[in-house]
């Protein structure tokens, strides 16, 4: 590294340090950090952009903030003039990444892969400049491998190394089956890096093993080894589990501005700075200032969270939508006013009904047990009055407003017949 840095002038050395500061922000691990710094220095010295890889198996096309942790880091590289290589696993996606799975994953059809990939592109364009992205489908090189090529690829890795994966080890210890094809997933992901001569590969910490396969196979094929950059997994709104649509603890980047703002305000205080670091476009100095102001009492955690919510909405819907969402939140949730755009439900059922049945029929909650719990927690209002008793029966009237939780409202419209 010192030899490369010595060839740079003072301005170029400052640029290396500037970029490294940006790339280190919010990162869980860089393997190895020294190699990344060397690659950045060489790219400046030779005026050659780095190739930054992100592999995607488009199995779940709805992008939420958890996915954007890696995308935001890609944007930083792109803003510094480096090349983003998006690898669409149209071949590997038909096999399914076994990472974190206790059973073999469902294999995708060609049609499913193509549809999901298209959806990814539309959403990614909100974060990175898709016109400057290199798009690659790994079927281009993987489909052309013959059986001898596959055997040769398999011969460059040991079974013991593959069994180091925690998910494989766990399935073996619990007697759950592992199909032979699953062992080939990390091999193919590593081969992608060989074919594209990637300099850096990004992914979540759960992709640690797969990304290191890129370094392994590049070395075996006589290529310069890529750097592995691992981003932390983002906890969802519950503050416990990884953000996931199935866990219902997510904020989707296609959600309406008001929903996005409201959900952001439910992020636990303990995770605020992590969200600032991983899902916003604020720079290190701005984030450090927010952190310091919260710690020394200059900035109330509520106000910091409002800044976070406003920033998230602004990134995906613009400044005007962010300001309007904040006004709506303050009016409805802090001042107790009813929103002006409450959805209307045409009611054709009985005029008298239990509050629990009404909540379920209006699809405000999915079950009676959830409705009882919400009422017990004082989370249900009728015409802005709290419902205290789970046995309450209502005589419905035109325009009656039912509120469940902080963000669910329905206005009743009675059948005139």
Q: How far apart are CA 170 and CA 99, in angstroms?
A: 11
Angle at alpha carbon of residue 65, lines to 70 and 229, rounded to 5°: 15
Instruction: Quote the CA–CA distance of 352 and 82 in Å, as a whole number.
Output: 65
Under 8 Å between Cβ of 216 and 189: no
Asked whether the predicted pLDDT for residue 321 surpasses 80, the reply is yes
The predicted-structure confidence for 347-383, as pLDDT tens digits, reads as follows: 888 889 999 999 999 989 989 999 999 999 888 988 8
- The pLDDT of 222-251, averaged and rounded, is 91
* Cβ contacts of 83 within 8 Å, gap of 6 or more: 49, 50, 51, 52, 132, 134
How many C-beta atoms surround the C-beta of residue 232 within 10 A? 16
C-alpha distance from residue 391 to each of 322, 366, 368, 394 (Å): 40, 18, 12, 10
Instruction: For residue 364, give the nearest of 412, 414, 397, 415 by alpha carbon.
Output: 412
Q: How confident is the model at residue 99 (pLDDT cuts 50, 70, 90)?
A: low
Cβ burial of 152 (10 Å; 0-12, 13-18, 19+) is: exposed
Query: What is the pTM assigned to this prediction?
Result: 0.76
Confidence of residue 104 (pLDDT cuts 50, 70, 90): very low
- The pLDDT, as a whole number, for residue 103 is 44
Two structure tokens written together for 375: 């009422």
Is residue 346 very low, low, confident or very high in pLDDT (cuts 50, 70, 90)? confident
> 54-84 pLDDT, tens per residue?
998 766 667 899 999 999 999 999 999 999 9
CA distance 333 to 4: 56
> Is the separation of the CB atoms in 57 and 112 below 8 Å?
no
Q: What confidence score (pLDDT) does residue 29 get?
A: 95
Query: Residue 135 half-sphere exposure, CB side, CA atoms within 13 Å?
Result: 13
- Count of positions (residues) in the chain: 417
∠ CA 297-301-306, rounded to 5°: 130
Give the chain's mean pLDDT. 88
Whether residue 185 is predicted with pLDDT greater than 50 in this model: the reply is yes
Largest CA distance in the chain: 86
Highest mean pLDDT among 289-293, 328-332, 408-412: 289-293
Q: What is the pLDDT of residue 182?
A: 81
Q: Are residues 390 and 372 in contact, defined by beta-carbon separation less than 8 angstroms?
A: yes
d(CA 306, CA 317): 16
* Mean pLDDT, rounded, for 41-61: 88
Distance CA 309, CA 328 (A): 13
């Amino acid at each position: 590294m010192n030899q490369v840095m010595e060839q740079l002038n003072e301005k170029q050395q400052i640029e290396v340090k500037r970029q490294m500061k940006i790339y280190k922000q919010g990162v869980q691990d860089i393997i190895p950090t020294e190699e990344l710094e060397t690659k950045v220095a060489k790219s400046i010295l030779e005026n050659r952009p780095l190739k930054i890889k992100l592999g995607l198996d488009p199995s779940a096309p709805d992008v939420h903030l958890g996915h954007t942790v890696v995308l935001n880091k890609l944007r930083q590289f792109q803003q510094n003039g480096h090349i983003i290589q998006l690898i669409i696993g149209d071949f590997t996606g038909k096999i399914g990444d076994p990472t974190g799975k206790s059973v073999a994953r469902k294999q995708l059809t060609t049609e499913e892969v193509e549809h999901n990939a298209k959806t990814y592109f539309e959403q990614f364009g909100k974060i990175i400049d898709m016109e400057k992205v290199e798009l690659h489908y790994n079927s281009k090189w993987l489909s052309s491998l013959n059986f001898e090529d596959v055997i040769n690829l398999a011969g460059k890795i040991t079974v013991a190394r593959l069994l180091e994966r925690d998910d494989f080890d766990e399935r073996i210890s619990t007697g759950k089956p592992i199909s032979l094809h699953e062992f080939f997933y990390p091999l193919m992901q590593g081969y992608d890096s060989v074919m594209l001569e990637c300099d850096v590969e990004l992914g979540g910490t759960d992709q640690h093993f797969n990304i290191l396969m890129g370094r392994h196979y590049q070395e075996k094929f006589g290529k310069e080894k890529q750097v592995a950059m691992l981003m932390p997994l983002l906890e969802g709104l519950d503050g416990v589990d990884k953000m996931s649509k199935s866990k219902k603890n997510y904020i989707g980047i296609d959600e309406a501005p008001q929903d996005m703002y409201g959900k952001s305000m439910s992020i636990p205080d303990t995770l605020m700075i992590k969200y600032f670091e991983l899902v916003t476009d604020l720079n290190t100095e701005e984030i450090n200032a927010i952190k310091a102001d919260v710690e020394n009492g200059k900035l109330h955690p509520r106000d910091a969270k409002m800044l976070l919510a406003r920033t998230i909405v602004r990134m995906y819907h613009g400044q005007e939508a962010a300001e309007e969402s904040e006004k709506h939140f303050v009016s409805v949730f802090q001042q107790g006013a009813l929103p002006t755009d409450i959805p209307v439900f045409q009611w054709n059922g009985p005029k008298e009904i239990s509050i629990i049945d009404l909540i379920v029929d209006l699809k405000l909650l999915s079950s009676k047990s959830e409705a009882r719990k919400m009422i017990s927690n004082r989370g249900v209002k009728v015409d802005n009055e709290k419902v205290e008793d789970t046995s309450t029966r209502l005589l419905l009237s035109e325009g009656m407003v039912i509120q469940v939780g902080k963000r669910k409202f329905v206005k009743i419209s009675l059948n005139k017949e």
